[in-house]
Structures are given as structure tokens and as C-alpha cells.
């Protein structure tokens, strides 16, 4: 699976929208949309770590 697939799945399971994730994780919502639409395939470890921390998952879980 890809980052965008895992992230979409987790957001759907937890009923979290992009704006909630953006505010909670401190990541620009435009950057999140690019990740979700697979336009940004290499978002950087700090961004992925912020997202993982907010969602309570490991970076590995997002990237597998």
C-alpha cells in the first residue's frame, strides 16, 4: 500500500477530515491534499511524523 492509501483509510475509519488533520497535526492542508491525491509522493519524514503522531500510529504503519 501507499502512504495516500493508508492515510485515506485511517481518515475514513476515524471520520477525520483533512482540515481536522491539518489543524491537529500542524501540516498545511494543501500539502495534505497533495499527499492524498498522490501529487506529493515524497512529503518528507517530518511531515509524515507529524501526521502519524496526530493519528496515534507509527510512521511504518503509514508507509507500509
Domains (ranges, CATH) in the chain? Answer: 3-63 (1.10.260.40)
Q: Record the pTM.
A: 0.90
6: which 3 cell numbers? Answer: 493508508
Residue among 6, 44, 2, 42 nearest 55 (CA) = 6
Q: For 7-60, write each residue's pLDDT tens digit.
A: 999 999 999 999 999 999 999 999 999 999 989 888 899 999 999 999 999 999
Q: For residue range 44-55, what is the model confidence (pLDDT) as tens digits?
A: 999 999 999 999
pLDDT at 1 over 70: no
Tell me what pLDDT residue 42 has: 86
d(CA 39, CA 58): 22
pLDDT value at residue 20 = 96
Amino acid at each position: 500500500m501507499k502512504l495516500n492509501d493508508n492515510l485515506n483509510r485511517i481518515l475514513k475509519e476515524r471520520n477525520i477530515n483533512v482540515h481536522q488533520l491539518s489543524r491537529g497535526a500542524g501540516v498545511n492542508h494543501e500539502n495534505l491534499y497533495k499527499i492524498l491525491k498522490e501529487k506529493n509522493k515524497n512529503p518528507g519524514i517530518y511531515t509524515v511524523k507529524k501526521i502519524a503522531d496526530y493519528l496515534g500510529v507509527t510512521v511504518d504503519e503509514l508507509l507500509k
